[in-house]
Structure 1
Amino acid sequence: MNLRDTNLTQLSAQTYDVLVVGAGINGAVSAAALSKKGLSVAVIDKGDFAGETSSHSSNLAWGGIKYLESHEYLLVNKLCKSRNHLMQSYPSTVQEIRFLTTLQKGFRFPALIVYLGTLLYWIMGRFFTRFPEFLSSAAIEAREPVIDTSNAQGGFEYSDAFLHDNDARFVFNFIRGAMDNGAVVTNYVSAQDAQFIDNIWHVAAKDEISGEPIAIKAKSVINACGPFADAFNAELENKTEHHHVFSKGVHLIVNKLTKVDKVLAFFASDGRLFFVIPMGQKTCIGTTDDKVDSPNPVVTDADRHFILDNVNALLNLDQPLTMADVISERCGVRPLAVKGNSGSSDWVQLSRKHAVDVNTPKRLVSIFGGKLTDCINVGNEIADTIAAFDMPLPKPHAKWYGESSDAHKQTFLDRAALINLDALTPVYSSELLSTRLWRRYDINALQIIDEIQRDPQQAEQLMHNAEYIRAELHYAARREMITKLDDFLRRRSKISMVLRSSEILSSPGLLEACEILFGEQAEAKLAEYQAMIAQRESSK
């Protein structure tokens, strides 16, 4: 019996202290915090973990510099503090990166005034990052020749943070941490109905893979459904103070465009921020920022043209980028929390700050908005909220986040050195193998070392340019609840972001990967993925 099957049988085995519905970043940190602090926790998601907003971000963990323009100083102060704490807690994953920002002539503020804003931002960030620099157009061109400075008035370079891996992987590690602390977690399980009877929530759920019904009981429920939080509250007939409006964000992934590993920041033709973000040997460009009514967005030709037109106008490329250069696309909505009936007319000014609404009589908590930068605060706030339901936390001071100690890391590095692990790093890799394994798996990377010591072939790459070795697949099959091939290719890894679908499908190692992940179901799971890709391509 695999991990998911085991957890499915456990969902109905007891009355949980907390049921978390939704396994994006908000649900993941809620589960990680509550389980570590000693409560019994169940988590369900109708799709895969981090399957929606949490896998479509810009991979940036920033302090919200853009909110200075709208004078939200308290929010910027809070986000800077959260960013610093995240960088300190996850030094291998959340790292400082420089933003090389170019302002065009005619921009709404002179470059020097905007630079003074970066100094304020640095001060509000408690001097945690490198000092900002004011740059002339010539200095910008000297640092990154690909930037078109012909219409630039100048710019600056300042620091924020980014995720060295992908956002969905970061979210999953909170899910894995919750499981390690006893939480019963399952993907592809939807909540069909919920009734609060005799002080207990009775949730009628469904296994979306088999169609089988599942009865779950819990003393409290957390609505962490992200962009679907309003719909779930409507099903529960739960009236809340906040609701969501949606901003669609689209990114395109292309081959590497820049000489330096810095984020190139501009203001696009519509006046909003536009990024060129390093992604190893690839580059992520975007984003759009358009109000939409549906939490299920799609990439349109207008989105693609907007991004390509802007990057071609802002960079001096040998050849203009076209759709033929696009390797993959990211598309999701940012759920923005608004209070009451506000937000429809001034949604562009809305920030990503989160809100927590509480129905105390029914012990029902709803999380709105939020961003990855603030995730530790969300987890702590939810733990305090649940404790206030007269549900005391057995271990209220337990720390539920952060990388393992330096001593544990050194143990891993010593083991890696014994087998000369880094010598096995492929020439096309963007980093050493030991660096990557520690960042992805923390202390559990020792299990992968064990596999390689047992069988050196476990260190081989199964798919060229994928930066994933055979031992990682065996680990993922055991511990990462990969239910569909897309779960692995898009969310546990970033393979489908950096390789074209045609490259993936033609890879000699794809079938072996399926056999490792799915055993006897390998061919069926591969066919399922092929059908999904065919449908996606036909809809373009």
Structure 2
Amino acid sequence: MSAEDGTVDMLVIGGGINGAGIARDAAGRGLSVVLCEQADLASATSSSSSKLIHGGLRYLEQYEFRLVREALAEREVLLRNAPHIIWPMRFVLPHNKLLRPAWMIRLGLFLYDHIGGKRSLPGTKSLSFRTDWVEGAPLKPELTRGFAYSDCWVEDSRLVVLNAMDARVRGAEILLRTRCTEARREGDRWTAKLKDLATGAERVVRARILVNAAGPWVERVLHGVAGQSGSAHMRLVKGSHIVVPRLFDGDHAYILQNTDRRVIFAIPYEHRFTLIGTTDIPFEGDATDVRITPEETDYLCDAVNRYFAKQIGPADVVRSYSGVRPLYDDDSAANPSAVTRDYVFDLAGNPGEAPLLSIYGGKITTYRRLAEHAMDKLKRFVPDLKPSWTADAALPGGDMASHRFEPFAAAFKARHPWLPEDVAQRLCRLYGTLAERIVGPSTKLSDMGIDFGGGLYEREVDWLVREEWANTADDILWRRTKLGLHVPPEGASKLAEWLAGSRTLARAS
């Protein structure tokens, strides 16, 4: 609870996965929390990932055993707590003997299967593409063998939104399109100025703890906003992805060894497409303006063309996106791909002073453990802090019987047979048990309101605005959903008009 003078326990700067995860964890332990984000939830790095919950097979070559072990254990936790937006996926690794010997790959996969503790996913399997024809069909004929292993897919931006929703349910205040312009330590309190970027209105928040989870802007917040120095340093690395028309049949993905010893993923995406990524290049400049370069597009196309019979080029790209990873820089790796994906905390504050915790690095798979570790770091400043709780707590919509998605989806479709199959499946996947609240009393498709195309209806849009902070067409089409690939241009325009009208009504009321 807030103090009588309005002081809250924690102010979190940053609405990516780390900020949302920490806000949720802290609120669930009884702390009063305010989170501010200068744009939309997951508007930067957290919506620009490869959309995988995975241990990071390639990190074994860099001896990141602790990171891989923790990530593989978390894979099981997240799969259990969010079975609607996270699901198992098999990955096919074609063997190219010129890049890595088969024994090395088998050893790595053996470790991958065993160092994470108890697992629910199928283990590694050797493949012969002459007999395992489904996996081998799209590949060049000279590729004759490979391996298959398991990891998981995640709707990355929705993972952020669900954490923010749960934080709000537990009492946190979520302020989007709100920038922290100044934060000053005044003894055992922080005094922060927050500016609503839509209205220009300013607000002062006093907090006992300041958490800097600003991602690529963490040092800007640390030095420029808070006026503090820090012991850690950040290294920005850009990763880009491309989307092309579907390259292969099946629900499995491919992990392709590249000639620079990196790996490239080719993943089924939105039914009719394939997602390809990622690059790893040093980045300097403003992380708000990051986009793929022609050289990166060529790099990804070339990597795929070494393996697939069907060749692709820049003209095949229907969408691309880029993100900047705010990695911890220990000055030990010249190659951006070798920079650790582990997370590091920089905790500043003398005894009796209000603490400032800055977050460096991390990966989406380990965000929940990062949040737990952050609270462990801050425990001495909150003596009566409640114990950790998120390991066994379903995210919104994930409270399904036995954590099983398929029986839930089948029952939902049986209750609403009038919904088109693809629409019903998508609602189940994105919203889980909350899909019932979106459908509401509807008994026929026309009850769902305006049809924007691509399976998007007014009732869903209304839900996203009321419950998930959606404000623009991009919020809805690219972060709350991926319907930007399916809604026609005229539907997107109609959606923008609807949103403008709803904002006008909101202001009038």
On whether the aligned pair clears a TM of 0.5, the verdict is: yes
Does structure 1 retain, via aligned residues, the 8 Å contact 2:129–2:135?
A: no
CA distance in structure 1 between the partners assigned to 2:246 and 2:448 by the alignment: 26
- The letter for the 2-side match of 1:270 is D
Counterpart code for 1:79: A
The answer as to whether partners of 2:244 and 2:274 remain within 8 angstroms in 1 is: yes
**Structure 1 match to 2:292:** 299
Partner of 1:37: 29
The answer to which of 385-394 and 94-103 deviates more is 385-394
Q: Structure 1: how far apart are the matches of 2:264 and 2:116?
A: 22
Could you tell me whether the CA contact under 8 Å between 1:246 and 1:294 is conserved in 2? no
Identify the match of residue 93 of structure 1 among 67, 82, 85.
85
Tell me the alpha carbon deviations over residues 134-189 of structure 1, each in whole angstroms, 9 at most, x when there is no partner: 22353465523111142x363211111111xx311111111111112221111111
Match of 2:278 in 1: 287
Over residues 430-453 of structure 1, what are the superposed CA-to-partner deviations in whole Å (9 max), with x where a residue is unaligned? xx61x4334322443231131424
CA distance in 1, matches of 2:87, 2:139: 24
Give 3-state SS (helix, strand or coil) of 2:62's partner. coil
Structure-2 residue corresponding to 1:404: 399
Deviations 1:357-406 (A, max 9, x none): 21243311111111111111122222333332135235765765542252
In the aligned structure 1, how far is the partner of 2:67 from the partner of 2:436? 40
- The 1:264–1:118 alpha-carbon spacing in structure 2 relative to 1, beyond 3 Å, is same
**How much has 1:343 moved relative to structure 2?**
4.2
What amino acid sits opposite 1:262 in the alignment? H
Q: 1:192 — aligned with what?
A: 181
Give the match for residue 191 of structure 2: 202
Match for residue 421 of structure 1?
416
Distance 1:336 1:178 in 2: 26
Distance 2:409 2:257 in 1: 42
The size of the alignment, in residue pairs, is: 491
Partner of 1:369: 361
- Corresponding residue for residue 517 of structure 1: 499
Asked if the contact 1:409–1:443 (Cα under 8 Å) also holds between the matched residues in 2, the reply is no
Relative distance call for 1:393 and 1:288 in structure 2 (3 A) is same
- Matching of residues 162-173 of structure 1 within 5 Å: 162-163=153-154, 166-173=155-162
Matched, 1:156 2:151: no
Q: Which runs of 5+ in 1 are unaligned?
A: 1-9, 524-540
In structure 1, what is the Cα distance between the partners aligned to 2:402 and 2:302? Answer: 49
Q: Distance in 1 between matches of 2:473 and 2:85?
A: 25
Match among 107, 110, 115 for residue 116 of structure 1: 107
Contact in 2 for aligned 1:140/1:154 (Cα 8 Å)? no
Moved more, 60-69 or 129-138: 129-138
Report percent identity of matched pairs. 26
Whether the aligned pair in 2 keeps the contact of 1:246 and 1:295 (CA below 8 Å) is no
What is the deviation of 1:229?
Answer: 0.6
Please identify, of 262-271 and 404-413, the stretch whose mean Cα deviation from structure 2 is larger: 404-413
1:490 matched to 2:478? The reply is yes
Displacement, 1:422?
4.3
Letter in 1 for 2:127: L
Unpaired stretches in structure 2, ≥5 consecutive residues:
none
Q: CA separation in 1, counterparts of 2:394 and 2:356?
A: 24
After the TM superposition, which of the residue ranges 345-354 and 56-65 deviates more from structure 2? 345-354
2:138 partner amino acid: V
Check whether the contact 1:295–1:333 (CA below 8 A) recurs between aligned residues: no
8 A contact 1:132–1:159 mirrored in 2: yes
Report the AA paired with residue 425 of structure 1.
P
Q: Counterpart in 2 of 1:313? A: 306
What displacement does 1:222 show?
A: 0.4
The one-letter code matched in structure 2 to 1:386 is: L
Secondary structure, counterpart of 2:182 in structure 1: strand
1:238 lines up with 2:228 in the alignment: yes
1:451-495 superposed Cα distances (whole Å, 9 cap, x missing partner): 424x7424478343x343332111112112122221112111112
Change (3 A) 1:73 1:144: same
Cα contact 1:474–1:516 (8 A) shared by 2: no
Aligned partner letter, 1:276 = A
